[in-house]
Amino acid sequence: MKGKVYLIGAGPGDYKLITMRGLEYLQQAEVVVYDRLADNRLLAYAPENAEMIYVGKASANHTMKQEDINQLLVDKALEGKTVVRLKGGDPFVFGRGGEEALLLVENDVPFEIVPGISSSIAVPAYAGIPVTHRGIAASFAVVTGHEDPTKTNSSIYWQNLAKATDTLVFLMGVENLPYITKQLVEIGRSADTPAAVIRWGTKPEQRTLVTTLGNAAEDVKKHGIKPPAIFLVGHVATLREKLAWFDTRPLFGQTVLVTRAREQASALTAQLESLGAACIEAPSIKIEAPSDGYAGIDAAISTLDTYEWVIFTSVNGVKHFFARMKEAGKDSRALAGIRICAIGSKTAEEVAKHGLIADIVPAEFRAEGIVEAMKEYVSEGTKILLARAKEARNVLPEELTKRGALVTIAEAYRTVVASTNGDELADMLREGKVDWVTFTSSSTVTNLVSLLGEGGADLIRQTKVACIGPITAATCAQYDIKPTVMADEYTISGLVQKIEAYYHA
């Protein structure tokens, strides 16, 4: 039985610009054939057991010839596989998708085309340059910049192209820029025509050079701009001065190392990226079941009606507690008559997802805040269940016990060192490729230092460090790491706000 091939445009660079249809098919893939311009974060949406085949092509550096890629798609489909061909931009705009589709037709392999957002319009838009604009440009043309300048007969109609179209967009044309600009000027396009060169458009690494047609080649050489980049010629380039938006955001150009557990990193990454930062998700911790299993928390849940209070100190604690409740055949009704204390607004929100409102949410989001908030509710013999991580501090149970409470500590989960490549992270820090390191718990600090190996703390000290709160900062101090900023409100939003405020200051 034959499989099917989906030729999907992954968009111009920003992985979130893929279409809903493209994402839907990617999530069903058995084989993913992807190229250099498809953001690797897209690959996370494919099934874990999908076969990943990289066929990336850079100028003069082809991992696999186009003819071999075409045949690969056919071969995998004939094995009965669902194949996704993930291509940068749009498959049919200089993406050679037509060649791939034709060989599929020849071999009677079913396929679908999923258009993608072309870099020819998206990249200028992210640079604040509309390719058409009322009163300035009523037409635009998209041209390959890859044509060999030594060819005797050009396939580009330069004479008509230069004079008949308001805006010209050359894709992949940086290396041929002297030839392109020479052709346009010789056939009558003014050397003073505004122009722009945009590298890595729509990505945090985006760089835009506004120039003129006559100066473009020299300016690109002067500023060291390399592929991938587009070259735009036309008076619309002047609009960037007023319409620039993407690379004017407060954290644009900053690279941030996100050390949260993988399943939680996206929340921090999303907030940082919305402010223009480039994020490297390199979890230093991984959330797992307690080393001795769930016996402790399961025992507590089985006698839940004997407790007066349940205290949650983290979102993870809430998630694992209710997961074990479900495993025991119970739900929120089992907490009837029991009061709940949640440390922090996010923990309280997680509790609310189960139809419960926390009775106490301390103003200070740490153990000391809980002790202060609960002092009037705790007396001799008050029974309290504390669902928390194995590695948590003992301040809370010790202080509550001093007040006469009977505290049961139920380990809901544990944090362990993640399998992140520490050597690779160390190289990035050593080479100055990271501007910020974020720490959202004490365990992210200790585990990152461990991952980096000998001299890890020294490498971290070379960057700016953002801590979520004083407990995490105190752990940093154990390694002589001084935080650049610390959140006023001990939440992810508070952490991001503090980083942003650093630049406003």
In the residue annotation, 57 being an active-site residue is answered as yes
Are 404 and 437 within 8 A, CB to CB?
A: no
Residue 156, classified by CB atoms within 10 Å of its CB into exposed (0-12), middle (13-18) or buried (19+), is middle
Q: What is the pLDDT averaged over residues 336-340? A: 94
Residue 365 binned pLDDT confidence (cut-offs 50, 70, 90): low
In the residue annotation, 35 being an active-site residue is answered as yes
- Backbone phi, then psi, for 50, in 5-degree steps? -70, 140
**Predicted confidence (pLDDT) at residue 61 exceeds the cutoff of 60:** no
**Predicted confidence (pLDDT) at residue 408 exceeds the cutoff of 80:** yes
Q: Which of 52, 41, 39 has the alpha carbon at shortest distance from 81?
A: 52
Are 185 and 168 within 8 A, CB to CB?
A: no
Candidate list 87, 172, 325, 346, residue with the active-site label:
172
What pLDDT is attached to residue 177?
Answer: 95
Q: What is the pLDDT averaged over residues 183-198? A: 94
Q: Which domains does the chain have, with CATH numbers?
A: 4-117 (3.40.1010.10), 121-248 (3.30.950.10), 255-284+418-504 (3.40.50.10090), 295-414 (3.40.50.10090)
Please tell me whether the overall predicted TM-score, pTM, comes out greater than 0.85 for this model: no
What pLDDT is attached to residue 373?
Answer: 82
For residue 11, what is the DSSP state?
Answer: B
Candidate list 35, 39, 90, 247, residue with the active-site label:
35
**Predicted confidence (pLDDT) at residue 164 exceeds the cutoff of 90:** no
**62-66, 80-84, 148-152: which range is least confident on average?**
148-152
What pLDDT is attached to residue 434?
Answer: 94
Residue 37 binned pLDDT confidence (cut-offs 50, 70, 90): low
Are 197 and 220 within 8 A, CB to CB?
A: yes
What pLDDT is attached to residue 363?
Answer: 72
Residue 163 binned pLDDT confidence (cut-offs 50, 70, 90): confident
**Predicted confidence (pLDDT) at residue 264 exceeds the cutoff of 90:** no
What pLDDT is attached to residue 331?
Answer: 94
Candidate list 4, 57, 390, 464, residue with the active-site label:
57
DSSP, collapsed to helix, strand or coil, labels residue 360 as strand
What pLDDT is attached to residue 390?
Answer: 67
Q: String of b and e for 466-478 (b: at least 16 CB within 10 Å)?
A: bbbbbbbbebbee
Q: Which of 38, 53, 59 has the alpha carbon at shortest distance from 117?
A: 38
